Every structure is written in C-alpha cells, then in structure tokens.
Amino acid sequence: MLGSSVAVLAPSLLPGWALCSVLDGSSDRWRKALLAPALGLLLMYGVSGTLVLADVWSPLSLGLFLLFFNVVAYRVVHQRHEVLTKRTRWQLLEAAMHGELSEETDSTSLSKEAEIQLGFQRHRSIPLFAVSVAVAATALLTPLLQNLPFGVDWIGFAMLTQQLVLEGNLHLSGTNEGFWTYPPAFPSTAAWVASITSVDAGVAVFHLGHYTLFVLLLGLMGAMDRHGAGAHTMFAMGLGFGLFAKTFDSGFPSVASQLGLVVGVLVLFRPAEQRQRHHTLGLCIGLYSVALIHPTGAMYLALLMLSHIIHGSAIESEEHRELLKKIGYIASAFITIGFGVALLVMAPRLFDEAVFSEYGWQGGRPMLVYNGMLLFVAIFAAFRLRKTLEGRIAVSWFALLWVMTLVHLVEGLRDIPVLSLLSYTLYSMALHAFHIPLAVLVALWWSPQTSLTMIEANEAPLAMPQPLSATLVAFVLLGTVMAQTVAFTLSDHDELLAVSPGDLEIRRVLDGIDGAVYTENMHWGYIWNAPQSVKTTSIPTLGLVHIDSSLQASATAAMFSDNVSFFLENNMEHALTSPLGSMQWTLASSPYWEAELKVDGAVLWRLHPEGDAEPRHLSGIDEEDCSACTVRVDPWRNHKFRDPMMLGEDRPFLAEGKPGALIVQPPALAKEMCLTYEIIGSNRGLFLQSTTGLERSYHALQIDPGYHENCFAIENTSELTEVAFEWGQDASKRWLNPLGLSGRDTVLIDQTGVKFQWLTWSMAS
C-alpha cells in the first residue's frame, strides 16, 4: 500500500500544490497539505485519461507528461514578480496574507479576504484537525489487512487495468475482438501503479481506490477550511455511510469522480468579489478531469455550478452577474458537449436496454439507509442557514441531485436510450450523490468559525449547540472505532471474495499453457492476472462493450454437448473452473475432460479428445443429509444457471463447535470420495471421522476461510454410510456479515462454521 501511494503521490503532489496556490492564494501550508494530494490526483487522472483517448498511453508517456507538469508547477509556485502590479490576483492575495500589499495597489477586497482567512487560520483547532485526519486515515486500513477487496466491480476494473498494462488500450482481451467504452482515467492510473510497483492489476485497483478515498476526505477538509469548517467536515462525512460503503463494495471510479467536488466547494462557495478568471479555469479543468473518471462526478459538479448560478443571480451586483455569466457559459458548454456525446455515441448503443434500477428508487429507502443520519442533521442545518448564500446553494444542490433520482421510478421503460444511459450511470447514486452535499451543509452549521454571506438579514446564523456538537463528535468517533473493528474481523473472511483462494492459486500455473483457455463468464472467471500468452474466453461487461467476435457462447455450448471438434479447431485444450461457479459440474461428469490440477475446489482441466478421462460421479448435499445443520442460502445463487445435482439455492450449514454427521451414499464402484465445502470465517479446527468405510478413519480438514476440497480413499463402499464432524473448539464466533445488508445472504449477525456443497466420487475403471 505504501509503494502504491508513493507511486501516485510523488508525481502529483507538486502540480496539486501549484493548483491549490492558484485557486486559493490565501491558503497556508496546512491547507495546501490537505488540498494538494486531492487536486494533484485529479490532474493525474485527467492527464492519464487523455493519453488513453489519444491512443498514446504507456507508463513512459504518462511519466513524461507528469514530469512536464511538475516543471510547470515548479515555475508557478516559485516565480514571483518584484513589482506588485505585475502579479496575478492569486499572487496578490498571497502578498496580502503576508502584509506585503502597498498603498498604491487597489487592495480593499484582497485585504478583507486576507483578514477573514487569517482569522480562520488563527482559530483552527489543531487537536480537532488531528483527530479528523486520523479518522480519514482509516480509509487506508483495509488494504493493509486484506490482499483484495470485497465486492465484484473491482474485477472489471482490474481487467481494464491489465489490458492497459499489456497493450496500452481498451481493446477486448483474450479470444475476443472489440473494445470497451469506459471512462479511462481510473484504470489507466491503476495501470501506472501496477507498472511502477509491479503489483498485479487487482491489487493496484484496490490500493488506488482506497488512496483516492483518503485524499478525497483530506481535500474536502482543505476546501472547507477556507470557510472555517475544515475539521468539522470530516465529522460531518462520518455521519453518512454512502462513499464508505461504495468504496467497500469496490465502486472506486464513482468515488474517485467526487474529487471534482473539491474544486467545486473551494471555488463556488465564496462571494463574487473573491472569484476570478483563474477560478473558472480551475472549474473547467475539474469538469474535464472528472468526466474522464466517471460521468457521475461531472454531473454532480455541473449541478453545483447550476445551483451557484441560480442563487448568485439574486445578488444585486453587476460584477457578480458578469462572473455568473462566464460560469454559465462554461457549464452550458460542458453540458452541451456531454449531451452530444451521450446522444451521438452512447445512447444509440442502448436502444435495446430498459431503464435500470438495481437497488430501487435512489431517492427513497436507499438514500435513507446510507445517509439517513446525515440527512436528519442536515435538515436542521438547512433551517439555520436558510438566509445565507452558502446554505441556499447547498440545499439547492441536494434538491437538484434528488430530482435526478426520479429516473429510477420508470424502471423497465424502453425506447428512450438517454434515460437508459442516465439510469445506468446513476444506478447506485444513493451511495455517492448525497454524501458530500449534505456533509458540506452540516459542516457549515457545525463549525462556530464560519463567515457566511447573508442575504436576508445582517445577523449571523447560530452555530450548532455545543452539547449537540460534542454528542455528534463522540458518535462519529465511536462509529469509526466500530467500523475498523468490523474491518479487522472481515479480514479473516476470504469466503466473501468474488474469487476463491483456490482460483487465485491455480492461476499461477497458467504461464506454461499454449493456446486458448476456457473461463467462466462470471466474476470468478475474469482473469485479470493471466500471463500475456494465455488467451481466455470470458470478459466482463463493464460500461458499454462492443464485441466484433467472441468464442465464449460457442465454447460454452460445446462444453454441454461434448463437441470435441470445436475445441480442437480453436486450439482450446484447457479450461478453468471455480468452486463458486457451476461449469465444473459439467466437466467433472464428462469423459472428455480430466482434472490436471486441483487447488481448493478450483480446477484446471485438460481436454481428452479420445474420451478416456477418469470417470467421476457427483452427488449433491442437502439439509436432509445433515440433521444438525441449518439451512443457508448460497450467496452466488443468482449467478449459477445450471443445477444438474438439484442443489437449489440452499446449502447445509454447520456452526463451529456443533458436532454433526453427514449421510453419504457412495456408488458401488467408488474408490475415492471428495468433499467440497466452504469454511466460514477463521476456525480453530475441523475433523472428519468414519469408523467404517474409509481407509483412514480420522482426517483433519482445511480450515482457511473459503472453498476447499478434501479427498478420502474408500476401503468398503457398503460400510460407508455416514461421516461425522468434530471441532477444535466448543463455540462459534459471531461476526457482522455485510452480505446480509446487500441481500446476497439472509443473515446479518453471522457465526463461523462450514457450508457443505457437494461430493465427487472417483470410480474404479
């Protein structure tokens, strides 16, 4: 994690520092230290994404451009004119902050701004800031505890990242021909991390995603520090779960696109006389860079600009109106370009797609689930700040975002491609649309040091009462401790990953394989770390995928029909299956496929064209075979489209510490029994015993979390009727199962134990 962070921070810090100086000449080193990593990363995303669009991306080209931007940034930071009148507006503000303005310079507004900012800096609570930074730093904890993230989205990002590392473009990988249409900034920056640090693409995506969340939190604190509410912003963010849940679920580009809001909050929440041409330029850079990360962030920033224009026009100031016109022109240009791309490029490819709403109406229950507490406090903040320009901008910003959720109320509507595109872009916006706007509103009320622009009264609004402030701070700190406790607990639950430990291990032997390899068209079948010489068949449908040709469907049909000639014609003599999927059941019962290597239920298969593979028989395990077991759903039940053993959606679950027995019925010619099972959490020990029927009566089973397969030699099939299980300790451990929140599982407060899957019998020839 440290190496990945340095690979991104080192080339982006100085450009971020320079951009911070330009956008906020009143910033001191403390504020720059908060803002520079976020602004620098935003610039790096923009540069990297641009190189992909220009089809010239490579680690070398990106490195050269970053070097160029560092040289420019150095000149911006260090170049100073001796004559004050030749300095830029932001340089004059810097001079005012140090008391260097002469009487000959028109410095009334500068002196006023400098006085306000110096007051904010003098009244900073360093202990409160230190606690806020420490809370933000917990975003980096998960990559230190785990090797790979939870969720499934990261696998698609890793595939794009690996393709950029190997080819420098977003053409489809493996045996497929076509291309991905997806914002290129995040995967290309992850490819930079993978190239510089030599970590694989999945790890690079994981590290970059959490580093981005960390610098986003710092950047928001720095932007709000300009309004005297820096430390309180982190506590306000802690009242919501949206962005944190999205990061946990590996929606990294959606979170990264929020970096543009750092620029928006820094520039648009300020009086007209304090905003200049270079601020408009900063907004343009922010909008452009964010659009290359993910379109959601560009939409949110554009709506913030619209809210600013709506309320700014109510102020009777000719100078203010002229500045609003410029911002309006910029916003209109970006919106026009964005709609042009959507209508002409994206929408025509969605004529057959309906409006999509996987999690329901995003302005209803999902919003309350992930941001309910924050919304409750924000209602009081909105009332208190109703007569301030900043408060009205924040409230209108939230309202405009909420209106966008109405697209999810027409789920299933067809023949309107623009609405379909919008719904796919905003499908989980309850997690990432409202968190920052509500936190900004709450932080402006929470901090007692803000200097807001009054519209209807000269009397400043009352800040949050101290007892309530102390209670909320304690609540956020307690929640942070609890969240990190859960993170420590979940680090022992590799069974939650969308790939099994066996899948990861078996990929290490692919390097020597020649030709194509059949892989399942599911999350566990998308191999982001395959050697360059290996051509896999499956690809994720990330963004909009244009496929000119693909062998996946034909190869799958050939598997089911034992069409050996297809595999020989296409030089596809190997297949890779995961215990999470269902294709291994087809291959295990086929005489044309032999298991060449097994690792914890993951299998590398080799084609036997003559049909002389070792015969095998599969039998499912259900709750009737284990009287001591309880019934649990299979989290991946919706991703298994064939069920030859009639397993259904349920699996028998035996809690740790609870003895149990499994009834078995071996075929007459069985010589070996292999049990496929799934360990839930970290267990102390699991043992299988059978007094009759097996060559050895007592076996220690593998207990690492995740899928495993243990095989036992059979001595007498007629005597093998039952196997018993014992544990190394007497009681199970309780843990918070996030799949219970997502709907994949039905249990929230879970317990450690084992899930039984199926039995494979090797037959005597």
DSSP string, 551-586: SHHHHHHHHHHT-HHHHHHTT--EEEE-TTSSHHHH
> Which of 172, 165, 270 lies closest to 228, judged by CA?
270
105: Cβ contacts below 8 Å, ≥ 6 apart:
84, 85, 92
Q: What is the 8-class DSSP label of residue 672?
A: E
| 89 neighbors 113 (Cβ within 8 angstroms) | no
The pLDDT of residue 327 is 62
Buried b (16+ CB within 10 A) or exposed e, 628-637: ebbebbbbbe
The pLDDT of residue 217 is 96
Tens-digit pLDDT profile for residues 161-184: 999 999 999 999 888 989 888 889
| CATH superfamily of the domain spanning 618-763 | Galactose-binding domain-like (2.60.120.260)
- Residue spans of beta strands (DSSP E) within 119-270: 177-181
Domain ranges of the chain: 2-490, 501-614, 618-763
- For residue 668, give the 3-state DSSP assignment: coil
The pLDDT of residue 508 is 85
Q: Between the CA of residue 484 and those of 138, 207, 431, 443, 760, what are the distances in Å?
A: 7, 17, 19, 23, 40
Q: What is the 8-class DSSP label of residue 87?
A: S
| 204 neighbors 234 (Cβ within 8 angstroms) | no
Tens-digit pLDDT profile for residues 69-90: 999 998 888 776 444 455 566 5
The pLDDT of residue 474 is 92
DSSP string, 247-284: HHTT-HHHHHTTHHHHHHHHHHSS-GGG--HHHHHHHH
| 682 neighbors 653 (Cβ within 8 angstroms) | no
> Which of 645, 664, 660 lies closest to 717, judged by CA?
664
Q: Cα–Cα distance between 381 and 463 in angstroms, integer? A: 9
- For residue 183, give the 3-state DSSP assignment: coil
The pLDDT of residue 277 is 66
Burial class (CB in 10 A: 0-12, 13-18, 19+), 284: middle
708: Cβ contacts below 8 Å, ≥ 6 apart:
502, 600, 601, 676, 677, 678, 679, 701, 702
The pLDDT of residue 558 is 92
SS3 labels along 452-491: CCECCCCCCCCCCCHHHHHHHHHHHHHHHHHHHHHHHHHC
| 677 neighbors 708 (Cβ within 8 angstroms) | yes
DSSP string, 305-374: HHHHHHHHTTS--HHHHHHHHHHHHHHHHHHHHHHHHIIIIIGGGGTTPPP--TTS-TTSHHHHHHHHHH
Burial class (CB in 10 A: 0-12, 13-18, 19+), 740: middle
> Which of 230, 315, 325, 219 lies closest to 264, judged by CA?
219
Q: What is the 8-class DSSP label of residue 172?
A: P
Q: Cα–Cα distance between 491 and 234 in angstroms, integer? A: 25
> Which of 742, 182, 161 lies closest to 428, judged by CA?
742
DSSP string, 367-419: HHHHHHHHHHHHHHHHHHTTTBHHHHHHHHHHHHHHHHGGGGGGTT--S-HHH
| Dihedral of the alpha carbons of 642, 647, 648, 654, in degrees to the nearest 10 | -140
| 8 neighbors 189 (Cβ within 8 angstroms) | yes
Instruction: Supply 127's token pair.
Output: 């202990």
| 1 neighbors 29 (Cβ within 8 angstroms) | no
Instruction: Supply 622's token pair.
Output: 């259900």
Regions of the chain where pLDDT drops below 50: 81-84, 103-105
Residue 648 zone, left/alpha/beta (φ > 0; ψ -120 to 50; rest): left
The pLDDT of residue 138 is 92
Q: Cα–Cα distance between 14 and 4 in angstroms, integer? A: 17
Whole-model pTM?
0.91
The pLDDT of residue 348 is 58
According to DSSP, the β-strands at 516-519 and 535-536 are parallel
In this structure, what are the phi and psi dihedrals at residue 212, rounded to the nearest 5 degrees?
-65, -45
DSSP string, 90-137: HHHHHHHHTT---TTS--HHHHHHHHHHHHHHHT--HHHHHHHHHHHH
Q: Cα–Cα distance between 114 and 29 in angstroms, integer? A: 15
Q: Give the Cα-Cα-Cα angle 634, 640, 644 (nearest 5 degrees).
A: 100
Buried b (16+ CB within 10 A) or exposed e, 559-579: beeeebebbeebebbbbbbbb
Helix, strand and coil in the chain, % to nearest 5: 55, 15, 30
